Amino acid sequence: MASNIISMPVSIYALGGLGEVGKNCYCIENEQSIIIIDAGVRFPGTEYPGIDYIIPDWVHLKNNRNKVKALFITHGHEDHIGGIPFLVQSINIPIIYAPKLAAALIKNRLEEQKILSRVNIVEYDENTEVRVDQFKVRFFRVTHSIPDSFGMCIDTSEGRIVTTGDFKVDLTPIGPDFELAKLTKMGLEGVDLLLSDSTNAEIEGFTPSEKNVLSSIEEIFDSIMGRIIISTFSSNISRIQQICEVAVAHNRKIAIIGRSMEKAVEISRSFGYIKVPDSSIIQAEDIKLYKNNELLILCTGSQGEPMAALSRVANGEHKDLTIIPGDTVVFSSSAIPGNGLMIKRIVNTLTRAGADVITNSILSDIHSSGHASRQELRLVLKLVNPKYFMPAHGEYRMLRQHAEIAQTLGIPKENCFILDNGDCLVLSKKKVTRGYPVEHGNIYIDGTDINGLVPTVMVDRRILTDDGMLAIAIGVDTKSNTLIVPPTLFTRGLIKQGSSEALERCRMLVEQEVLDALKGKPSFADLKNKIKTVAGAFIYAQTRRHPMIIPLIMSKGE
C-alpha cells in the first residue's frame, strides 16, 4: 500500500459461519469502515421447533452502523445470501456487490418482500476492483456447485487478506475454471491472512468433479421406465443443468415443482446457465397428460423440510402430483448436519406410498459436494502460502482438522487461529494477533418478522417440546387472604388430562402449599414461586421431566 496511507489496525471476525455449517457472515473492520462478506441463513433442524431460519444477531453492526460501507457476496447460495432481506431492514447497507447470478437471486428475494427499492446492487466479475476507503477488494473465480462463485483478496493498510469463499478445485467444471493462476500470483506477492472453506476438511483426497455425476444420472434415466422425481437444492444450478440435459436427451418432459426451484431455473435459463428448450418444460398441472416414462419432475425438499414440495407430495398434499407405485424418487444432495432425521422420515413416507427411493451411495454417485476435500485444501494452502491462517465455514471439528492440515504444510501452530463466532483477530503491520470479541448471537426467524425470536423463547419452546407443560389455576380473595377457588391443573404433553392419580396428588400438594402460604399474606410473586417449586419437585419425582409450569392466579378483592 502507498506510504501516505494512515495505519489503522484491521479487525477480522465472523458473526456466523464458525462452529456451524451455514449463516455465513464475515466482517473486516478498521476505525473508519466495516465491509461485510456474505449474509446468510442457517436452516434449522428438528431441535428448533417452529423456526424457519436462523440468522446472525447483527447487534455489533447496528451499534457501528455509520461505519458499514458495503456488503460483498461470494455466491448465490442461501447460507450466503438468505439473511440479506433481514439485514437491509435492520441497518442501512449503502451498496451490495455480487456476481451476476447471485445479484439476480438477491433482487428476486428482495422484490418478493417489496424491499428492492432500498438496496443498491452492483454486479462484479473477475476483472472488477472495488475501493472502499482504505480497503481494496479484488475477485477470483472458484469452482463450486453454483455458477459465478468467487473468492476475494482484500488489501488493507496493514496487510493482505484472502478468503476463498465456498470452493472445490474442479478441473473439469460445469462452467469457468478456478482461477488458480491468479490465486498463485497473490500468494507470490504475499498473503498475510487466509480464510478458507473447511466443510470437507475431514474427507481425504479430492472431491469428485461435478461431471462425474453425469454418468450416474444417465444410468438412472436408462434403467427407469416410470416417472422420475429428482429432489436437489434449488441453488445447485450445475446439477440442475445436467439433469435437464439428460432428460431432454431421453425425451422426457420436465415439470418443476417448488417456488424456489421454479425461480432459480427461470433466472438461470435467462442467463444461459441452464440450457433447455421451452418445448421440454411443462406446467405441473399438465403432468397427468403424459405417460409415466415421458416425465421428469424436479422439486425442492431434499432435506426433508416439512413445507417443501417433496414433503407435500409424499404426504398427498400437493394438488398436481401424488406418489404412485412405479415412481422413482432420487435425492441428489447430501444431508445438511441436523437434517438426517427429517430426511429419513420423508424417505420412509415415500417408500410407504409405493415409490422406489435412491439416495447417495457408493453404487449410485448422484451427488458431488461443492466443497474441497483435504488434497484441495492442501493445494490452496500451498499456492497462497499465508503467514497466518483462519479456517472458516465449518463446525468446530472441521475447523480444527483444517488447521492441522495447515500445520503439516509448515504454517506454525501459533499462526493458526480456530475461532468461534464473535472472536476477533487484529491485523497490524502484517502481524495477526487475537483481539477483543464483538457482540454476536443468533436470531430465530419465525415467519417474516425481521426482529426474530430471542434465545430465551427458544429455550421455552424446547421445554414445551421435550417436557410438556403444566398450568395451575387458583382463585384467592385478597381482602380476606383466603383460597376461594382450589387448584385446577391443565397439562399438555406430560400426563393424560383427567386420568392420572398423580395429577390429583399434585393438586392436593399445591392446595396445601397455597393454604400454608396464605397465612403469611404473601405477594402474588411469592405464591407463584411456591406453586412452581412444589409442583415441579413432585412432577420430576414422578416423571423425571422438567415441564414448563405456569401458575395462574385469579383474585377477588376490594
Catalytic positions, written as ranges: 197, 371
CA pair distance 296, 292, nearest whole angstrom: 9
169-194 b/e (C-beta count within 10 Å ≥ 16 → b)? bbeebbbeebbbebbeebbeeebbbb
Measure the CA angle with vertex 96, ends 93 and 97; round to 5°: 155
Work out the number of other CB atoms within 10 angstroms of the CB of residue 95. Answer: 14
C-alpha cell belonging to residue 7: 495505519
Q: Rounded distance, CA 29 to CA 255, Å? A: 47
At 531, is the secondary structure helix, strand, or coil?
Answer: helix
User: Tell me, what DSSP letter sits at residue 65?
Assistant: G
Q: Residue 127 in 3-state DSSP?
A: coil
| Maximum Cα–Cα distance across the chain | 86
Rounded to an integer, what distance in angstroms lies between the CA atom of residue 548 and that of residue 465? 10
Kind of pairing, strands 253-257 and 228-231? unpaired
What contacts 442, CB < 8 A, 6 or more positions away? 23, 54, 55, 56, 57, 455
Burial of 450 (0-12, 13-18, 19+ CB in 10 A): middle
Residues 448 and 443: their CA atoms lie apart, in Å, by: 12
**One-letter identity of residue 222:** D
Between the CA of residue 200 and those of 195, 403, 490, what are the distances in Å? 15, 13, 49
Angle, nearest 10°, between helix axes 237-249 and 259-271? 80
Q: What is the dihedral of CA 193, 197, 200, 203, to 10 degrees?
A: -30
Helices (H) and strands (E) in the chain, counts: 15, 25
Yes or no: say if 198 and 229 are a contact pair by the CB < 8 Å rule: no
Nearest CA among 442, 461, 370, 428 for reference residue 59: 442
**CA nearest to 338, candidates 305, 383, 299:** 305
User: Using only C-alpha atoms, what is the Rg of the chain?
Assistant: 28
| Nearest CA-CA partner of 425 in 9, 13, 6 | 13
Q: What is the DSSP letter of 362?
A: S
Task: Decide: helix, strand or coil at residue 42.
Answer: strand
**Which SS3 state, helix, strand or coil, does residue 196 take?**
strand
C-alpha cell at 218: 444417465
Q: Distance between CA atoms of 484 and 421, rounded to whole angstroms?
A: 53
Using CA atoms, how far apart are residues 346 and 213, in angstroms rounded to an integer? Answer: 23
